[in-house]
């Protein structure tokens, strides 16, 4: 419509071209890109985006020509070098790809994604010291990148450094307890270290995870072998998350990198003892209701529960020890319902999704009236589904192995509909309509489903029930910003900041001082 009204708007052709490409209409998309370039010949973005389309349809020489022209106009674009690296990979020119990644890092030294991809290429070229150095950079920037720990463990294994390999696999498992490949490789490593019992335990754990993740009737040994054959997560990743446009002026908050994303779901967690330095942090991020407060006061086992978004304060070893204590102590009293429920909470804190859901299922089978079990089960399901979807997106790009570079699959992963999670939340609301945290979590699910108005309704109900629920103000503000309701959003951001969410002030500086 914009083009009908005014036929010489370069950005209209450029954006329509992008839209047509995303619809798979590449002939029409390229015509729009051609027009955008004719109208604005020195627009580096137009050349780059046309080059990216050529790259995706495997017109590689044209892709290189366009990206090179974009860089001739502006040679300070890290994302352009990143995209040229992907084209060079398709041309099987790994040396040129590495050189392009070098340019990205020169312009953007904290780009973890580029270090990760370059490490994969170094590994394929048998330059293991360089690969190890790049994985170390990834881990330094993002200590929770599970694939970096896993791949570095594989390199240590290749080099015969089995103790270091075991340590890296263990960290990968700590971050993601259902990581079958890490258990498989740690099993092989422990065999090398002479730890036969540990190797057997890891083999059995991997087999159990694989069995749970696959439908019945499949040959588990074949599946196990298939997982074991995945020596590396050798996926070159293509997305823009690590690229920040605009100037970043030192010392000015509004130009710093700010993670603007909604706050996480709220779990009922087990409040394990913390060091004195962490206790104030937990106090700021803890919520209770009357029933949980009464439980904490009266239960004879010394268990303390609270609602929080911050499972990062979990000490994994202490949590595992508490799991063992619960199994022995509560079961000895004959209270299997509490045992399953508490174990579900502990497994959720460890991100052991499968075990957590199984424990909640058992608790609810014995007593369908535990509303908190529905909350945690629904939230665990949501996080598991989102994790699986995210992992599929990571994998759905360019696969690199020692022998081939596979083309991107045409089939994109389907975004989860979270029906089971919403069913659990609706069950809670029917049983306990005064619980604010279930409305907050349901709002987060609706936000992920892009049902923005219903998400705002649920955030508002959570705030009505719990007026100091800082996360609900913050997430409602981000949703309002997305809907261009800046005035309402800025009021919510101010309230979220008063209640302790420091990031709210960064968002205010960006959006509320116009």
Using CA atoms, how far residue 76 sits from 72, 80, 138, 206, 450, in Å, is 10, 9, 23, 46, 35
Q: What is the CA radius of gyration of the chain?
A: 25
Q: What integer is the mean pLDDT of 333-358? A: 83
- Position 248 scores a pLDDT of 34
Judge if 232 and 273 occupy the same domain.
no
**Of 216, 236, 256, the domain-final residue:** 236
Judge if 345 and 452 occupy the same domain.
yes
262 part of a folded domain: no
Secondary structure (H, E, C), 352-409? CHHHHHHHHHHHHHHCCCCHHHHHHHHHHHHHHHHHHHHHHHHHCCEEECCCCEECCC
The CA-CA-CA angle for residues 66, 67, 71, to 5°, reads 115
| Greater model confidence, 308 or 245 | 308
Which CATH number do you get for residue 368? 1.25.40.10
Q: What integer is the mean pLDDT of 243-247? A: 40
Residue 278 has pLDDT above 90, yes or no: no
Judge if 232 and 313 occupy the same domain.
no
| Greater model confidence, 63 or 315 | 63
And the tokens for 352?
């052991």
248 part of a folded domain: no
Residue 198 has pLDDT above 70, yes or no: yes
- Position 405 scores a pLDDT of 37
Judge if 224 and 184 occupy the same domain.
yes
Phi and psi at 308, nearest 5°, equal -160, 155
| Mean of all residue pLDDT scores within the chain | 81
Q: If pLDDT is split at 50, 70 and 90, which confidence band does 330 have?
A: low
Residue 223 has pLDDT above 90, yes or no: no
- Position 477 scores a pLDDT of 93
Q: What integer is the mean pLDDT of 336-343? A: 82
Q: Where does residue 246 fall: left (phi above 0), alpha (psi -120 to 50 degrees), or beta otherwise?
A: left
**Of 193, 220, 236, the domain-final residue:** 236
Judge if 156 and 276 occupy the same domain.
no
Domain holding 75, by residue range, is 2-236
Residue 13 has pLDDT above 80, yes or no: yes
- Total domains, the chain: 2
Portion of the chain with pLDDT greater than 70, in percent: 79
Residue 432 has pLDDT above 80, yes or no: yes
Helix (H) or strand (E) holding 187, with range, is: helix 180-192
Using CA atoms, how far residue 277 sits from 281, 282, 318, 319, 350, in Å, is 8, 10, 17, 19, 22
What does the pLDDT look like over 458-486, one tens digit per residue?
Answer: 999 999 999 999 999 999 999 998 888 88
**Of 213, 236, 259, the domain-final residue:** 236
Judge if 122 and 21 occupy the same domain.
yes
Pick from 13-17, 171-175, 446-450, 502-506: least confident: 502-506
Residue 262 has pLDDT above 90, yes or no: no
- Position 303 scores a pLDDT of 79
Residue 150 has pLDDT above 80, yes or no: yes
Judge if 430 and 378 occupy the same domain.
yes
Note whether 114 and 101 are within 8 A (CB): yes
Judge if 178 and 58 occupy the same domain.
yes
**pTM assigned to the model:** 0.50
Phi and psi at 166, nearest 5°, equal -60, -40
Residue 327 has pLDDT above 70, yes or no: no
């Amino acid at each position: 419509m914009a083009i009908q009204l005014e036929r010489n708007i370069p950005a209209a052709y450029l954006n329509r071209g992008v839209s047509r490409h995303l619809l798979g209409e590449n002939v029409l998309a390229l015509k729009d890109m051609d027009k955008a370039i004719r109208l604005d010949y020195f627009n580096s973005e137009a050349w780059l985006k046309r080059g990216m389309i050529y790259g995706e349809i495997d017109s590689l020489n044209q892709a290189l020509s366009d990206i090179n022209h974009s860089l001739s106009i502006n040679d300070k674009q890290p994302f352009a070098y990143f995209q040229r690296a992907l084209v060079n990979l398709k041309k099987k020119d790994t040396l040129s790809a590495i050189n392009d990644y070098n340019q990205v890092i020169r312009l953007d030294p904290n780009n973890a994604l580029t270090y990760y991809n370059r490490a994969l290429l170094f590994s394929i070229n048998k330059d293991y010291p360089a690969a190890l150095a790049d994985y170390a950079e990834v881990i330094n920037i993002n200590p929770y990148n599970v694939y970096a720990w896993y791949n570095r463990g594989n390199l240590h294994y290749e080099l015969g450094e089995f103790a270091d390999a075991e340590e890296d696999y263990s960290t990968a498992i700590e971050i993601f307890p259902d990581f079958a490949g890490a258990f498989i490789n740690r099993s092989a490593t422990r065999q090398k270290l002479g730890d036969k019992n540990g190797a057997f335990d890891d083999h059995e754990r991997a087999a159990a995870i694989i069995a749970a993740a696959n439908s019945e009737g499949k040959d588990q040994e074949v599946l196990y072998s298939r997982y074991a054959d995945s020596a590396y997560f050798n996926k070159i990743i293509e997305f823009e998350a690590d690229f920040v446009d605009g100037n970043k002026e030192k010392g000015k908050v509004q130009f710093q990198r700010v993670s603007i994303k909604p706050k996480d779901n709220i779990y009922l967690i087990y409040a394990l003892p913390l060091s004195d330095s962490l206790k104030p942090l937990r106090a700021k991020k803890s919520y209770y209701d009357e029933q949980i407060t009464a439980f904490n006061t009266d239960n004879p086992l010394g268990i303390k529960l609270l609602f929080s978004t911050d499972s990062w304060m979990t000490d994994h070893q202490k949590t595992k020890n508490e799991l063992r204590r619960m199994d022995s102590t509560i079961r000895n009293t004959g209270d299997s319902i509490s045992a399953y429920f508490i174990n579900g909470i502990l497994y959720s804190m460890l991100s052991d999704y499968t075990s957590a859901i199984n424990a909640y299922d058992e608790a609810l089978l014995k007593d369908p009236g535990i509303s908190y079990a529905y909350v945690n089960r629904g939230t665990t399901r949501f996080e598991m589904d989102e994790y699986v979807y995210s992992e599929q997106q990571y994998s759905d790009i360019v696969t690199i192995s020692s022998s081939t570079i596979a083309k991107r699959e045409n089939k994109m992963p389907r975004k989860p509909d979270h029906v089971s999670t919403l069913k659990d939340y609706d069950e809670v609301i029917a049983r306990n309509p005064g619980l604010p945290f279930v409305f907050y979590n349901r709002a987060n699910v609706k936000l992920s489903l892009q049902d923005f108005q219903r998400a705002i309704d649920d955030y508002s109900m959570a705030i009505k029930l719990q007026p100091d629920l800082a996360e609900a103000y913050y997430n409602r503000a981000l949703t309002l910003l997305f809907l261009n309701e800046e005035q309402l959003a800025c009021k919510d951001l101010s309230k979220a900041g008063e209640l302790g969410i420091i990031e709210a002030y960064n968002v205010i500086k960006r959006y509320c001082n116009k």
